[in-house]
Structure 1
Amino acid sequence: MKKKWGFWLAYIRKFNLDKWIRSDSAAAWLFLAPSLIGFALFYVIPFATGVGYSLKRNP
């Protein structure tokens, strides 16, 4: 059975993009890290805290 997204692997191998993907991924994560930290700090953490408080039982 053929994989659904298997053609991407052939495309990557055909144009020798393995090295480019590996080397630029570290730089991409470094550029994305500040926005991901801000997103977690100002959206994800307060949302999770609110959900946690809503599930607690009030005495």
Structure 2
Amino acid sequence: IGSKEPFDEIMKQFSDQELKELLNLIIGSENNEFPDYNREKILNRLNEARENRVLFKNIKY
């Protein structure tokens, strides 16, 4: 859904901790630090959020 390459390039610029903070911001949870999440799992969750945004953005009401 959409072009993933720009997303990947932007995500490469963030540290693992910054990615965790971004995921916390999107999910809306300040207490969940995702201790068992590695970088790949965090990126997968962030990509899911990106894809969902694209899907909902394209829905016509």
Task: Provide TM-score, normalisation by structure 2.
Answer: 0.34
Larger RCO of the pair (alpha carbons < 8 Å, separation 6+)? 2
Greater percentage in helix: 1
Structure of higher CA gyration radius: 1
